[in-house]
C-alpha cells in the first residue's frame, strides 16, 4: 500500500520541487551574471540580499529540500551509478561527513591564505579547489580503511559486547 501512496505523493511533489530548483537556479545565475556584468539584472536581488546565514530561514531550506526531493525521486537506491568507481569518493565523504566537514573548514582557511598571499588567478583557484577536494576524498578513504582494519571477528556472546560500551545496567 505504501507503493501507490508514494507514487501519488511523488507525482504531486516532484513538479513543485523541479519548479523550485529551476527558479532558484535562474535567480542564482542572474546574481552571478550581474556580479560580472553590471547591466544584467539580478532577479530579486534587493528582496533577498543579503542572505541571512546566521539561521536556517525558509528561503535557504526550501531549495535544499527541493533538490533532495528531485534527487531522491530520480535516482534509485540501487542505481548502477551509485556503485561506480567515480561515485565511491563522494559516498565515502558522505559516510564520514563530520570529519570531512571539519577538514573542509581547515582547508578553506588554508586555501584562503594561499590565494591571498600568493596568487588569486582563476587557474590557481581551480588548483587550490582541486587539491582540497582530493585531500577530502583521500581523507575519507583513509578513515574508511582505518575503520575496516579495526573490524575483527569477535565472539557472539553477551560478554563480548560488554567492553565496547554496549552494556546493559541491571539495577
Which grid coordinates are listed for 10?
511523488
User: Higher confidence at residue 79 or residue 156?
Assistant: 79
Q: Span 6-30, mean pLDDT?
A: 87
Tell me the three-class secondary structure of 98-129, residue by residue.
Answer: HHHHHHHHHHHHHHHHHHHHCCCCHHHHHHHH
68-104 tens-digit pLDDT: 999 988 888 888 988 899 999 999 999 999 999 999 9
116-134 tens-digit pLDDT: 999 888 999 999 999 999 9
168 confidence band (pLDDT: 50, 70, 90): very low
Which grid coordinates are listed for 8?
501519488
pLDDT at 171 over 50: no
Domain definitions of the chain by residue range: 1-74, 79-151
Amino acid at each position: 500500500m505504501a507503493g501507490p501512496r508514494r507514487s501519488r505523493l511523488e507525482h504531486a511533489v516532484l513538479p513543485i520541487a523541479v519548479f523550485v530548483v529551476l527558479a532558484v537556479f535562474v535567480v542564482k545565475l542572474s546574481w552571478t551574471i550581474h556580479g560580472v556584468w553590471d547591466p544584467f539584472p539580478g532577479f530579486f536581488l534587493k528582496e533577498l540580499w543579503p542572505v541571512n546565514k546566521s539561521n536556517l530561514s525558509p528561503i535557504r531550506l526550501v531549495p535544499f529540500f527541493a533538490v533532495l526531493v528531485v534527487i531522491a525521486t530520480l535516482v534509485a537506491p540501487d542505481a548502477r551509478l551509485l556503485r561506480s568507481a567515480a561515485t565511491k569518493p563522494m559516498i565515502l565523504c558522505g559516510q564520514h561527513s563530520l570529519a570531512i566537514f571539519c577538514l573542509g573548514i581547515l582547508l578553506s582557511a588554508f586555501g584562503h591564505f594561499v590565494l591571498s598571499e600568493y596568487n588569486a588567478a582563476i587557474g590557481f583557484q581551480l588548483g587550490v579547489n582541486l587539491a582540497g577536494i582530493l585531500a577530502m576524498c583521500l581523507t575519507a578513504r583513509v578513515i574508511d580503511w582505518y575503520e575496516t582494519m579495526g573490524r575483527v571477528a569477535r565472539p557472539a556472546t553477551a560478554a563480548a559486547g560488554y567492553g565496547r560500551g554496549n552494556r546493559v545496567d541491571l539495577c
